[in-house]
Amino acid sequence: TLDIAPVELLITPNYPPPSNINATRNGDQVVITWSDVPLTPQVTYPDSHYFLELWLCNGGQLAYAILATNNLFISATDQPGCAEASHALLYTTTREGYSQPAVILPWP
């Protein structure tokens, strides 16, 4: 019953969001893939190159999740049964901040 505190990401216009995004479903698993956004070592954030904000159905409730990866894919559990549709945003991560978000559409 806790409210989610809004998070304001530092958005930089210097880097593009990932493109060629594809999301596929196999049961409760949604696999999201995208094309690489090449970055120089000087701007690459060492812990993760990509950042995802996801709103996923879990036990009949839409739940907020944050995932980060250096891969060009990620898998997330998204169950049926929520009144609201699941959805997600994908960002490129740099030492300067985050790209504009890419909306993952269509959500499978």
CB contact set of 27 (below 8 Å; sequence gap of 6+): none
Q: What is the model's pTM?
A: 0.89
Model confidence at 108, in pLDDT bands (50, 70, 90)?
A: very high
Encoded tokens for 19: 């493109």
88-105 average pLDDT score: 94
Model confidence at 46, in pLDDT bands (50, 70, 90)?
A: confident
In the chain, the percentage of residues whose pLDDT exceeds 70 is: 99
Please provide the size of the chain in residues. Answer: 108
Strands (E), the chain: 22-26, 29-33, 50-58, 61-69, 73-77, 87-94, 97-98, 102-103
pLDDT tens string 75-92: 999 999 999 999 999 999
